[in-house]
Structure 1
Amino acid sequence: MTAHEPPASTSPRCPTHQRVAVATCTRCGTFLCGECTELLGEVAYCASCAALLGPQHGPIPLRLLGVSGLVLLGMLSTLAAFFPFLPASFAIPRWVLLGVSGALGLWVPTQELRRIDRGQGPRRARPIARCTRWLAAVNLFFFLLSLAWGAWLIRAM
């Protein structure tokens, strides 16, 4: 070794770019530099493993989480109608909230389940989508019940 040569580095290197590795592929164990690192969710993969796994391990879509929250809000508004000690002051009428959350709660999760079945969505979103659809059906039931109740009240007057 001459005086002008740098000491050999003992840190792992990316096989593609010969740079110091900043991550390791979770699936195959390949050392990755910053340029080669593919993140699926918060997990590092090499390009070939990321292509193999696809979006099936990605984050749960925000639209599914948002609709799930809307459906839960509809459920809470229904509970508020039956229990006088729960606050019932919502800015929009309860029947509108039940109808909108019920319709969106059936449509969005169904689309997400189709994406999952095609391998384009994260598999871990399946239980959330199924639960949201079920609760949305309950919301739609209460929506239709409130419409029937309203029609009965109008005829009774």
Structure 2
Amino acid sequence: MNTQSAVAKDDIEATMAAIGRAARKAASVLATATAERKHAALIAMAESLWEGRTAILNANAIDMATARENGISGAFLDRLELNEERIRGMCDGIRAIADLPDPVGTIIAEWDRPNGLHIERVRTPLGVIGVIFESRPNVTADAGALCMKAGNAVILRG
């Protein structure tokens, strides 16, 4: 391994460690966020996405040009491409997730043991979720929104 590779590897490891630390910190905040705060954050996310659509479309045009230059297939290009209609759909999806009931704290099963102990299975945030996906910008919005609704932080790699 040459020195440049070692430095690049160290940079990647340091970056990933920093992302992980930030996600764990966010997870502790999200796990205790009220349903109202999560709803408001998701609505703000949808509004911000819509307001930033021009910059997003410009960046996507660069991604599309690079993909074409690299000989990427038509199906992949179709999944990668964004337009105003697709961004509107992403915003609508985030709003739909915002309007779902908050799953945190929901009792999904309960039973009593012969010794009288009452047991409940309750939905609770997991902490940090990792999502790896390919060429679908809408997954970023969907996965981020679903994780937030469930009180989890998410690390996305697309």
TM-score, normalised with respect to structure 1: 0.24
Q: Which has the larger radius of gyration?
A: 1
Choose between structure 1 and 2: higher helix proportion. 2
TM-score (norm 2): 0.24
- Structure number with greater CO (CA < 8 Å, separation at least 6) is 2
